[in-house]
């Protein structure tokens, strides 16, 4: 175990928990701020005794200062896909990010790694716009920033492939919103965590766009899903305006499968720009979807 302290916000999330696993293997001391730190106790098993420390944080400016103080690096993995209750896109992606950046400046942190999303500079969705606002306020308040923009992230606990696979178990139809033409470059969560680890090691700065080796359309993704699960659903092309009407109708459900804002996001491709810094600049070889997806989607077979 080395003496480098890294504070990880959003450590219990999909990307955050994988990042904890990878960084713990590198010997870093990890602080995991949570309103209810016991919910992060399961992550302790990824390291030695005392290496991974869930810590109480009320997410006020003072509380953020207290958990960041003494940190060599800070990673911000916080994010939400749907606004619910007191959790808003701007509150989570922008205002919290601003407080973290200000605290990093105040406490002399050597590096801040911030997880954003691919295509936010072109996005029409409230989600994408809030992510872009978060990038901007971070760079305004702290000058040693690395921003990671991943495309759709896949892995055992992902919210994308698993969601559509679950729908496929009960529905004979899956919608091809906008004709299924939106392009994605899905990236494996393990590769994102490796990229973060290498960035910490090399103190990398700037904006990096992360995508896997496969560029596929939304239609291609659902076809892959069908082949991996053996499900018999049919694909139904659905114009954007009809999809929005359906989203409004489903919004009364406690866990609506898709929102109007997510439909807006499908109007923007999520692929790496040819001029961007990428995984290769972080010495990470991208993992193909076909190498990972079958290992966890086969459980949806009848």
DSSP sequence for 75-144: EE----SS-BTTB-HHIIIIIHHHHHHHHHHHTT-SEEEEE--TTTTT--SHHHHHHHHHHHHHHHH-SS
Least confident segment among 94-98, 133-137, 241-245: 241-245
Instruction: List beta partners, residue 175.
Output: 236
Q: Which two tokens stand for residue 277?
A: 């810094």
Least confident segment among 86-95, 242-251, 258-267: 242-251
Q: What pLDDT does residue 203 have? A: 95
Q: What pLDDT does residue 13 have? A: 96
CATH of domain 5-154+187-210+271-282: 3.40.50.720
Q: What pLDDT does residue 273 have? A: 95
pTM of the model: 0.94
H or E stretch at 222: helix 218-229
In three-state secondary structure terms, 212 is: coil
CB 127 within 8 A of CB 136: no
Residue 7's pLDDT band (cuts 50, 70, 90):
very high
What phi and psi values does residue 36 have, to the nearest 5 degrees?
-125, 85
Q: What pLDDT does residue 301 have? A: 81
CB 286 within 8 A of CB 188: yes
- As a whole number, mean pLDDT of residues 229-246 equals 90
Strands (E), 109-233: 111-115, 145-150, 153-154, 173-177, 183-184, 187-188, 206-210, 216-217
What is the dihedral angle through the alpha carbons of 65, 54, 189, 198, rounded to the nearest 10 degrees? 60
Q: What pLDDT does residue 74 have? A: 98
Q: What pLDDT does residue 3 have? A: 83
CB 151 within 8 A of CB 271: yes
Model confidence at 1: pLDDT above 70: no
């Amino acid at each position: 175990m080395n003496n480098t302290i890294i504070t990880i916000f959003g450590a219990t999330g999909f990307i955050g928990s994988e990042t904890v696993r990878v960084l713990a293997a590198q010997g870093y001391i990890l602080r995991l701020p949570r309103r209810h730190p016991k919910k992060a106790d399961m992550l302790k098993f990824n390291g030695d005794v005392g290496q991974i420390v869930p810590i109480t944080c009320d997410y006020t400016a003072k509380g953020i200062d207290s958990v960041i103080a003494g940190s060599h690096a800070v990673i911000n993995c916080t994010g939400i896909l749907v606004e619910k209750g007191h959790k808003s896109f701007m509150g989570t992606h922008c205002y919290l990010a601003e407080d973290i950046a200000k605290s990093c400046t105040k406490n002399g942190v050597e590096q801040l790694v911030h997880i954003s999303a691919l295509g936010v500079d072109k996005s029409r969705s409230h989600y994408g716009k809030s992510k872009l606002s978060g990038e901007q306020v971070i760079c305004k308040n702290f000058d040693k920033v690395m921003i990671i923009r991943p495309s759709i992230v896949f892995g055992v606990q992902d919210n994308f492939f698993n969601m559509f696979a679950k729908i496929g178990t009960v529905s004979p139809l899956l919608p091809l919103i906008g004709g299924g033409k939106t392009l994605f470059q899905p990236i494996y969560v393990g590769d994102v965590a490796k990229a973060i680890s290498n960035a910490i090691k090399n103190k990398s700065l700037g904006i990096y766009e992360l995508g896997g080796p496969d560029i596929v359309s939304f239609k291609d993704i659902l076809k892959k899903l069908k082949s991996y699960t053996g499900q018999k659903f049919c694909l139904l092309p659905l114009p954007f305006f009809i999809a929005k009407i359906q989203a409004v109708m489903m919004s009364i459900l406690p866990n609506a499968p898709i929102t109007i804002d997510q439909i807006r996001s499908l109007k923007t491709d999520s692929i790496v720009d040819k001029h961007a810094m990428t995984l290769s600049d972080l010495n990470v070889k991208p993992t193909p979807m076909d190498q990972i997806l079958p290992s966890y989607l086969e459980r949806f077979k009848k």
